């Protein structure tokens, strides 16, 4: 486990919270390590990252991404537009940020249609999925 910044919504009651599970991450599936998550707190008025908590095997190797974001005042939108290699563990950090704008590519049970990617719209459930 690793963390930095605001520890949770109790410290920042107005903060938005996202939680991206490693179970939805390609790299975790390849390495058969689906336990864990990245939790991110973001100020809804500025979109700036306030805190990050990472639980799982690679937490100590990923926490620097959250610290860097907070130290430089990066926004969740800026992190969403960060290019990460695939499949890699850092994708979990980018995906946690992307959940704030509905742009997450790997959120379990949802995919973005090619048309939505072109116009940057919301997530849509995969065809044939059970709602």
Predicted pLDDT of residue 14? 81
Could you say which DSSP state residue 49 is in? E
Give yes or no for residue 121 having a pLDDT over 90.
no
Give yes or no for residue 11 having a pLDDT over 60.
yes
Interatomic CA distance for residues 17 and 9, integer angstroms: 7
Q: 58, 64, 72, 86: which one is catalytic?
A: 86
Predicted pLDDT of residue 116? 41
Predicted pLDDT of residue 15? 84
Known active-site residue 86: yes
Q: What is the pLDDT of residues 80-113, one digit of tens each?
A: 998 889 899 999 999 999 988 777 776 643 333 3
The architecture that CATH gives domain 2-103 is: 2-Layer Sandwich (3.30)
Backbone angles phi, psi at 88, to 5 degrees: -145, 160
126 exposed, middle or buried (CB, 10 Å; 0-12, 13-18, 19+)?
exposed
For 77, residues 6+ apart whose C-beta sits below 8 A from its C-beta are 47, 97, 100, 101
Q: Which sequence spans correspond to the domains of the chain?
A: 2-103
């Amino acid at each position: 486990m690793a963390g930095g910044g605001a520890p949770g919504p109790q410290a920042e009651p107005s903060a938005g919270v996202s939680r991206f599970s490693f179970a939805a991450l390609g790299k975790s599936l390849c390495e058969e390590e689906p336990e864990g998550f990245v939790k991110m707190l973001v100020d809804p008025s500025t979109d700036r990252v306030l805190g990050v908590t990472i639980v799982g095997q690679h937490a100590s190797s990923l926490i620097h991404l959250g610290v860097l974001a907070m130290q430089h005042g990066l926004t969740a939108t800026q992190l969403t537009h960060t290019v990460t290699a695939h499949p890699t563990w850092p994708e979990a950090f980018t995906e946690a940020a992307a959940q704030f704008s509905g742009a997450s590519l790997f959120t379990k049970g949802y995919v973005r249609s090619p048309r939505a990617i072109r116009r940057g719209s919301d997530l849509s459930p995969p065809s044939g999925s059970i709602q």
